[in-house]
Amino acid sequence: MATRLVNVIFGTTDPGALAEFWSKLLGWEVVAEHGEIDVRAPSSQGWEFDLVFGEEAGAKTAPNRIHLDLASASLDDQAAIIERARALGAEPVDIGQRDVPWEVMVDLEGNEFCVLEPREVYSDTGALAAIVVNAQDAGELAGFWSEAAGFRRSDKPAGDVGLRAPNGRGPWLEFQHGHAAKAARSRNRLHLDVRPFAGDDQAAEVARLCRLGARKLDIGQTDVPWEVMADPEDNEFCVLSPR
């Protein structure tokens, strides 16, 4: 039994506008289905993945614990991505990064993202280099998500950890070590979705993830076909039904 990473969900005040921003920035297709708007990775990249916009959220009031890193092929390409982001309404932001070779920006609703300088490790990811999660203990949290996402582990300097799909396609899932604990009773503006493989049992997968350190979570979701959970550092995620 296993689950696989399939979505990053954005809480948003304007799903259409934010989806259009990310579609144009990444060059991915917009697909409207199930009452939500998805921005879908090209099938040619060899992986199933959407950015999903439709979950309601109020105005952003604190830095996100999950953000996206964008890949570039050269310094000129990085500059072009930054300029495209600006033209679409993004802005640079100072989060204390000082003199770094990447550009930290915020999208239309203040969600942080980074436009990275060219790096060999991201040369085959496509437009999205990494989904980055702030962690108190990156090693422990990555151990859980390696099982939840079905990704292979690669330890990095300073206690950070990267995970990558077994077929080597798509973005990395990365955990940055040494961040403060998630604030009590707060909800992440971005969260991850995982899905069991066809033929697997959703309830059995939920039970397996609980044994690995997750817990079921009531956020007022009523009768829905997915299970809302929290990972070992209280980040919300959902276990979808198999297709």
Q: Is residue 210 in some structural domain? A: no
pLDDT score of 198: 85
CATH number, residue 38: 3.10.180.10
Length of the chain, please? 243
Q: Is residue 215 in some structural domain? A: no
Residue type, position 83, single letter:
E
Which among 61, 66, 65 is positioned nearest to 180, based on CA atoms? 65
Q: Is residue 98 in some structural domain? A: yes
Q: Is residue 62 in some structural domain? A: yes
| Alpha-carbon dihedral sign for residues 148, 149, 151, 156 | negative
**Structural domain of 125:** 3-176
pTM over 0.85: yes
pLDDT score of 54: 84
Number of domains in the chain: 1
Q: Is residue 114 in some structural domain? A: yes
Give Cβ neighbours of residue 110 (< 8 Å, ≥ 6 apart): 59, 60
Q: Judge contact between 117 and 80, C-beta under 8 A.
A: no
Q: Is residue 15 in some structural domain? A: yes
**CA pair distance 41, 47, nearest whole angstrom:** 8
Q: Is residue 67 in some structural domain? A: yes
The residues facing 56 across adjacent strands are 12
pLDDT score of 1: 62
Q: Is residue 44 in some structural domain? A: yes
pLDDT beneath 70, residues of the chain: 1
CA 171 to chain centre: 10
